[in-house]
Amino acid sequence: MKKLSIKSKITLCFTSGMILIVILAFSAILLVSGITIENNYKRQLQDVVESNIGEIEYENGRLDFDEDFVPYKYGIFVFVYDEQGVLISGQEHNISTEAMSLQERGIYETVTSNQSYYVYDLLVPIKDYGNLWLRGMAPKEEMRQIGAIDTVIKISFFTLPVLTILAAIVGYSLTKHSFKPIEQIIDSVEKIAEGKDLSQRLGMEQRNDEIYRLAHSFDKMFERLEDAFEAEKKFTSDASHELRTPTAVILAQCEYALDGDKTNEEYKEALEVIERQGFKMSKLIAQLLAFTRLDQQTQAVHKEKINLSELVSNICEEQAYLQIKDISIKCNIQSNIYAYVDQTLISRLLINLITNAYQYGKENGHILVTLNDRKDAIYLSVIDDGIGVKQEDLNKIWGRFYRVDESRNQGGSYSMGLGLSMVKQIAKLHDSKMEIKSTFGKGSTFTLILKKE
């Protein structure tokens, strides 16, 4: 069975709702009109009977009925009885009234001669005569004809299908018009998917409705996907380039060692080169895996309250033992600063910053690590007097595989350009941010502004 489209479902619901409303409306009309007609008919019965009160007189020893006396009007029969219930005036018209006692009880309903009637009895005093009974009887069937209820029912049966069809047409037209922007979105998304061009956008005209918000959300999603794919392409290209160099060196050394007889010293030298390149590749792969876990947030962040002052102090002591380029490390750490952080990630962040300071520091240079608790946040800074960064490159240093000019690397050690990218990602995972201040040729200051919790 073919499934209905959303437009068909909405049209069906709209039409069903309209049918229900129309049925309820007609039912209410019939009910109210029936009650109104019945009340009017009863009032008319009472008026016809009471209009005859002044038309009966007793003169010269007999009852005289004025010519304005109305025995039949609007389908209502009027009968006159004496106090003993003997009929004085009025034709029976096949109406049997023998079983109905005369008494003033307002308008009531009775069945006689297999027909329903409304009956109204009224006791009227006649001067010099006594009392007479006036009885009015109105057939209920006559009320239906007067009220034209049958006509209303016939009109209802005719108009209900017409209104249903109109509701379906109007509902489908409104739904189709409302869904037109969604069809445009579908067409645009399919074109983007077929063309694989994530730079395209839906570009829907701005409106204050849900459909525009949906299109705008799609555009933002495409923008993020495009950025992600571009970053992935660059990442893959950079990673391939980084791995290509040590791989080429390893292959070249293997070919060299296998090409003819070599001395033990030459074999040893070739193996040492291969070993160095292997360590370089291993380090790169490890950093790539670590960065990927951070970037894709597959590594859970386990925050706990730790003594940050003690952690920073311990890392500074450990890094000072490296004695790279005879660079000295000093610490200015405010004591007893506690923070909710992931200890492993914050340790990696600080080590990466110190490693970067070593990497681009000067011989016999200096590194200063500071930690301060301020009102707005906790500030962790790593200050060096190394080569610094040009102003135009400040925003680039956080990119993956970005490295400053290697010719200015004082120690000549190898850098893969992932350390600062990891630093920024770790700060982001802690809802914090990194700042850099640098003067080219004089040094840099990297600061983690750690959000308090």
3 state SS of 57: strand
Higher pLDDT, 100 or 74: 74
- List % helix, strand, coil for the chain (3-state, nearest 5): 50, 20, 30
Across the chain, mean pLDDT equals 79
Phi then psi for 261, rounded to 5 degrees?
-75, 135
27: confidence class by pLDDT, cuts 50, 70, 90: confident
Angle, CA 444 vertex, CA 442 and CA 449 arms, to 5°: 155
* Residue 200: closest CA among 213, 187, 209, 212: 187
When mean pLDDT is compared over 34-38, 128-132, 409-413, the highest value belongs to: 128-132
Residue with tokens 């200050």, as numbered in its chain: 383
pLDDT of residue 411: 45
Distance CA 297, CA 412 (A): 33
Distance CA 360, CA 173 (A): 69
Contact 178, 55 (CB under 8 A): no
Does the 1-93+101-180 domain belong in CATH 3.30.450?
yes
pLDDT of residue 180: 76
Q: What is the mean pLDDT of residues 412-433?
A: 76
pLDDT of residue 256: 80
DSSP output for 264-326: HHHHHHHHHHHHHHHHHHHHHHHHHHHHHHHHTT-S----EEEEHHHHHHHHHHHHHTT-GGG
Distance CA 435, CA 394 (A): 10
Distance CA 291, CA 284 (A): 10
pLDDT of residue 291: 66
Read off the pLDDT of residues 191-238 as tens digits, 9 standing for 90 and up. 777 766 667 777 767 777 777 787 778 778 877 777 777 767 766 766
Distance CA 154, CA 160 (A): 10
263: confidence class by pLDDT, cuts 50, 70, 90: confident
pLDDT > 70: what percent of the chain?
A: 83
Question: What is the model's pTM?
Answer: 0.49
Distance CA 347, CA 354 (A): 11
Alpha-carbon torsion (92, 97, 102, 104), positive or negative: negative
Spell out the CATH class of 301-451: alpha beta
Report residue 290 as tokens.
Answer: 């670590």
Q: What is the mean pLDDT of residues 268-295?
A: 76
**Residue-range domain boundaries for the chain:** 1-93+101-180, 184-239, 301-451
Residue with tokens 């311990």, as numbered in its chain: 314
416: confidence class by pLDDT, cuts 50, 70, 90: low
Report residue 389 as tokens.
Answer: 């960064």
pLDDT of residue 414: 46
118: confidence class by pLDDT, cuts 50, 70, 90: confident
When mean pLDDT is compared over 38-42, 232-236, 384-388, the highest value belongs to: 384-388
When mean pLDDT is compared over 8-17, 149-158, 264-273, 442-451, the highest value belongs to: 442-451
Report residue 139 as tokens.
Answer: 């057939």
Answer yes or no: is pLDDT of 14 > 70: yes
3 state SS of 52: coil
pLDDT of residue 2: 60
Report residue 137 as tokens.
Answer: 């009887």
Read off the pLDDT of residues 152-182 as tens digits, 9 standing for 90 and up. 667 777 777 787 788 778 877 877 777 777 7
Distance CA 21, CA 18 (A): 5
Most distant CA pair in the chain, distance: 168
3 state SS of 430: coil
Q: What is the mean pLDDT of residues 423-428?
A: 87
Q: What is the mean pLDDT of residues 273-284?
A: 79
